[in-house]
Amino acid sequence: MTISNRIKKRFAIGVLFLLTNVVAYAQFDGQTTQYMFNIFGHNPAAIGEQQMIRVLGMQRLQWIGVKNAPSTTDFSANMPFRIKKTYHAAGIRFSNDMFGIFTNQTVNALYAYKFKIGDGFLSLGTNLGFVNMTFKGDSVYIPEGSDYHSENDLEIPKTKESKVAFDMGLGVYYSCKGLEVGFSVLHLTEPTVQWGENTEFYLTRLYTLNAGYRFKLNNPKFHLQPSLMLKTDFVSWQLDVSLLAEYNERFWWGLAYRVQDAVSFLLGAKVLNGLMIGYSYDLPTSKIIRVSSGSHELFLSYEFKLNLDKKDSKYRSVRIL
């Protein structure tokens, strides 16, 4: 494909995306409001931080009321382990993002090597796997009299196209006494697929920066947890900031703001030893509020240790973040 055809292809895909009544951040990774509970979904170096085996499932329904709006499903499991005097973590993650006439599915193995530095850990991590990108060409609708495309446009596949490509990411993450800071690069290989004979599509590299801290208040039963997540591909960007209040290391609630997109309300609880449930509601602050009542997100997480010693089998969570 020539450079001019590449530009035309990208423009065609962008217009098609708008024609499906979906407006989203200019990359294919599903966004989450409760990112502070799923940092390893954005940075592979963050796995194993809870010092327990952790299983997490998350479902997000975005822009309720908008046809073909994004829907994201995320499932992961990870665990820390030691080899002699070295610290490691490993895990697996599956995600499924559907928006308009696009579907993006990823399966990744995650690994992190951890260096103990003082009271904290510096982690270097990677995720290796595959991304399956699907374009529903048989669902394309081009209005009559379109100034940009015709039904015979060769840049637009006419059938459902689905291809798999290798994917990889790298990350660095530091945590110490309630503080956490991380940086990652996802889609390092810029996975590329060929849809039909005329259209090529690839995922651009995504850079993320996250930070958070857990403050102790005068009343030892209360904690405050501010955090932020910045994502960019150096063409567009997205910033999330949040503040959670925690009571008795069991209940939490708070507010979040996604710049130029939504104000969010969060709440959750540890309902049993190791079992957590969280919910968030996004109220749009953009023009999408004219057609959408907002977005909903729910997650379930379970943490446990494989320890046969009953004296040390009680669930202990030192932090939420």
pLDDT at 28 (0 to 100): 62
Find the distance separating the first CA and the last CA of the chain, reported in whole Å. 46
The fraction of the chain above a pLDDT of 70, given in percent, is 80
Residues paired with residue 212 on neighbouring β-strands, in sequence order? 180, 227
Structure-token pair, residue 31: 């966004």
pLDDT at 307 (0 to 100): 64
Residue 320 maps to a domain: no
Residues of the chain short of pLDDT 50, as ranges, are: 1-27, 308-310, 312-321
pTM score of the predicted model: 0.83
Number of independent structural domains in the chain: 1
Residue 272 maps to a domain: yes
Q: What CATH number should be reported for the domain holding residue 161?
A: 2.40.160.40
pLDDT at 242 (0 to 100): 98
Residue 321 maps to a domain: no
pLDDT at 76 (0 to 100): 96
pLDDT at 30 (0 to 100): 80
Q: Which of 268, 242, 266 is nearest to 256 (CA)?
A: 242
pLDDT at 160 (0 to 100): 78
- DSSP class of residue 90 equals E
Residue 198 maps to a domain: yes
Q: What is the pLDDT of residues 198-226, one digit of tens each?
A: 777 888 999 999 999 999 999 999 999 99
Domain that holds residue 14: 3-312
Q: Which of 250, 246, 184, 175 is nearest to 213 (CA)?
A: 175
Greatest CA separation for the chain: 74
Residue 82 maps to a domain: yes
pLDDT at 190 (0 to 100): 92
pLDDT at 149 (0 to 100): 59
Q: How far apart are CA 266 and CA 280, in angstroms?
A: 4
Angle at CA of residue 293, ends 291 and 299, nearest 5°:
135
Residues paired with residue 133 on neighbouring β-strands, in sequence order? 104, 163
pLDDT at 150 (0 to 100): 60
Q: For 118, left (φ over 0), alpha (ψ -120 to 50), or beta?
A: left
Residue 118 maps to a domain: yes
Q: How far apart are CA 209 and CA 169, in angstroms?
A: 14
